[in-house]
Amino acid sequence: MNGACACGVIFLGTGAGMPSKQRNVTSIALNLLDERGFYWLFDCGEGTQQQILHSPVKLGRTEKLFITHLHGDHIYGIPGMLTSRSYLGGDTPLTVYGPPGIKSFIETALSVSDAHLTYQLHIVEIADEGVICEDETFRVETARLEHRVECFGYRIIEKDQPGKLQLDKLAELKVPAGPIYGKLKQGQDVVLEDGRTLHGADFVGSPIPGRIVTILGDTKYCKGSLQLAQHADVLVHEATFAMSKQELAYAFDHATSVDAARTAQEMGAKTLIMTHISSRYQGDDTDLLLQEAMAIHADSHIAKDFWSFDIPKKS
């Protein structure tokens, strides 16, 4: 867990509402597969592209941008990020997902500023809860949260991987290495030269479970956050205020550190990382938020700008 880690969750901005000297406004990068070489961004507050310059994130290798809601501290960095991606040689398609209105915001900003992108930009406005994108490796689900404007949280699910080929069993049977191993790994049946038939399922271990990362937008304690957080390996949850400011938090549809910890604990999330911290909590003041959360959910952390959390593959 450090600022140099390139695989896992990377926090580019962890403040709430407006930037402070210690925290920029919200943006998070996710990279679960180094070999894939792509980054996904979640929210893009003002100054995100500047924050990226001080991180391992490669803007030209950004593949998707997920927007939780349309408040300025989550979207004002989008036009600059999109145009800079062109200047940095980004030529692969980029897809933006977000609530209704995100398309109008982006297209207006690019049109008024006469911006010309060197890549295909796709904008998907989320019409309903459920699966919004899926490929051979990941599935992303979304649910509505409770905030002053329409707001979504995202659940990133890595699909289970095939189990490991049991080489010791094959060695005992004197099965020659080569293409046969590849076929067995894929679960196929193989007939050897000596007439023996090997069934792939007999030589492959149990599937390796994929990782689950839940990244929530601004929200108070609600059904949607509980749904998305269930059994997550990492839950990223806002904690704008300490418990002593609960009335203020609820008045503006935000969460306290206790709300975040309750969500993690009740839904069996492994690691809780709190972000979107009010500027009233500076320096050691954030220890209060952490102590409140850890009293409920021991594996809790407070994110800070450029801090990262590695999420190793399961075995």
pLDDT tens-digit map of 103-114: 999 999 999 999
Same domain, 268 and 188: no
Asked whether residue 225 is domain-assigned, the answer is yes
pLDDT at 1 over 80: no
Q: What's the mean pLDDT when you consider all of the chain?
A: 94
Same domain, 189 and 284: no
One-letter amino acid at 222 equals: C
Binding-site residue set for Zn(2+): 69, 71, 73-74, 147, 218, 276
Q: What pLDDT was estimated at residue 283? A: 86
Same domain, 67 and 117: yes
Asked whether residue 100 is domain-assigned, the answer is yes
Same domain, 134 and 217: yes
Same domain, 147 and 171: no
Same domain, 96 and 219: yes
Last residue of a domain, one of 146, 179, 202: 202
Same domain, 196 and 250: no
Asked whether residue 255 is domain-assigned, the answer is yes
Same domain, 133 and 101: yes
Q: How many domains does the chain have?
A: 2
pLDDT band at 301 (very low <50, low <70, confident <90, very high): very high
Asked whether residue 315 is domain-assigned, the answer is no
Same domain, 153 and 106: yes
- Catalytic choice (73, 194, 253, 285): 73
Q: What pLDDT was estimated at residue 3? A: 45
Same domain, 114 and 143: yes
Asked whether residue 2 is domain-assigned, the answer is no
Q: What pLDDT was estimated at residue 182? A: 86
Q: What pLDDT was estimated at residue 217? A: 95
Expressed as residue numbers, the domain containing 110 is 8-161+207-309
Binding-site residue set: 69, 71, 73-74, 147, 218, 276
Asked whether residue 67 is domain-assigned, the answer is yes
Same domain, 181 and 47: no
Asked whether residue 303 is domain-assigned, the answer is yes
Same domain, 240 and 93: yes
> Could you report how far apart the first and last alpha carbons of the chain are, in Å?
20
CATH number at residue 219: 3.60.15.10
Residues 217-226 pLDDT 10s: 999 999 999 9
Q: Is 310 a catalytic residue?
A: no
